[in-house]
Amino acid sequence: MNASTAPGPVIDADFLRRWLATAAAVVDREADRLTELDSPIGDADHGSNMRRGFTAAHAAVELEPPQTPGGVLTLVGSQLISTVGGAAGPLYGTLLRRAGKALGDGTPATPEEFRDALRTGVEAVGKLGGAVPGDKTMLDALVPAVEALSFALDAGAGLADGLAAARIAADEGAAATVPLQARKGRASYLGPRSIGHQDPGATSAALLVAALADTAAEAVA
């Protein structure tokens, strides 16, 4: 890991608004692929549910933009809970709400505060869904992403580089779900037949991390 000397992006409400716009666009673009991944081992709706949720969250944040980064994440989480349904709604909603609450009312957040908030959110997802890494869920992308971000920041990297590392870790984590047998969620009903398919939740989680990395990279550029 090369420590970055570039000034990191400022993690304020505007940064997370730009993340949300990017994430909503990516989810919209990739919705069909998410639904396709959800077909053999799920119920063929992950893409359309995520699209509906992020469209609603984006609209809500643009209508009344919160003034703090915590406020943006909390509002997005609430919107996802109210619009996505399924397991993804409460899980992604809890991830972002808990992260948002952890950030509190301060602005801007430091990279370390932001990482700690994400970790709090990811831990809440594990608790709510009762899953651990290796169960073939979104945690298989989220946990390595937070670890990679943490490792990079501890090594002196800036936020943009840290999130770039998190993106790679999330992508690898999602890809690594292919040989796993699902132990949580609807795919678990398939038993060994869930092996050989990439988990749609880990895939969408990796997309959200990638959107974060892109937003940070653009801010630095």
Partner 1 sequence: MKMLINVAESVVADALRGMAAAHPELIVDVEHRLIVRRNAPVAGKVGLVSGGGSGHEPLHGGFVGRGMLDAACPGEVFTSPVPDQMVRAAAAVDSGAGVLFIVKNYTGDVLNFDMAAELAEDEGVQIAKVLVNDDVAVLDSLYTAGRRGTGATLFVEKLAGALAEEGAPLERVEALARRVNESSRSFGVALSACTTPAKGSPTFDLPAGELELGVGIHGEPGRERRGMMTSGEIADVVVDAVVEDLRPDAPVIALVNGMGGTPLLELYGFNAEVHRALAERKVPVARTLVGNYVTSLDMAGCSVTLCQVDEELLRLWDAPVSTPGLRWGC
Give the nearer residue to partner 1 in terms of CB position, either 4 or 48.
Answer: 48
Query: Among 128, 175, 195, 217, which residue sits at the site for partner 1 (rule: CB under 8 A)?
Result: 128
Query: Among 16, 24, 37, 41, which residue sits at the site for partner 1 (rule: CB under 8 A)?
Result: 41
Give the nearer residue to partner 1 in terms of CB position, either 167 or 197.
Answer: 197
Query: Among 81, 96, 143, 211, which residue sits at the site for partner 1 (rule: CB under 8 A)?
Result: 81
- Asked if residue 43 binds partner 1 (CB under 8 A), the reply is yes
- Asked if residue 52 binds partner 1 (CB under 8 A), the reply is yes
Smallest distance, Å, CB 204 to partner 1?
A: 14
- Asked if residue 97 binds partner 1 (CB under 8 A), the reply is no
- Asked if residue 191 binds partner 1 (CB under 8 A), the reply is yes
Asked if residue 3 lies in contact with residue 10, where contact means CB atoms within 8 angstroms, the answer is no
User: In this structure, which amino acid lies at residue 130?
Assistant: G
109: which strand partners? 11
- Asked if residue 4 binds partner 1 (CB under 8 A), the reply is no
Tokens of 168: 């790679």
Q: Which residue has the tokens 């943009």?
A: 160
- Asked if residue 190 binds partner 1 (CB under 8 A), the reply is yes
Give the nearer residue to partner 1 in terms of CB position, either 111 or 185.
Answer: 185
- Asked if residue 90 binds partner 1 (CB under 8 A), the reply is yes
Backbone angles phi, psi at 7, to 5 degrees: -65, 130
DSSP conformation letters of 131-184: --TTSSSTHHHHHHHHHHHHHHHHTT--HHHHHHHHHHHHHHHHHTTTTPPP-S
- Asked if residue 91 binds partner 1 (CB under 8 A), the reply is yes
Radius of gyration of the chain, Cα coordinates, nearest whole angstrom: 16
Query: Among 186, 195, 217, 220, which residue sits at the site for partner 1 (rule: CB under 8 A)?
Result: 186
C-alpha torsion angle, residues 195, 196, 201, 202 (rounded to 10): 110
Query: Prior bond to 108 cis, omega within 30?
Result: yes
Asked if residue 192 lies in contact with residue 180, where contact means CB atoms within 8 angstroms, the answer is no
Binding mask 137-166 for partner 1 (x = CB under 8 A): ------------------------------
Contact residues toward partner 1 (CB under 8 A) are: 35, 39-45, 47-49, 52, 81-91, 128-129, 181-186, 188-191, 193
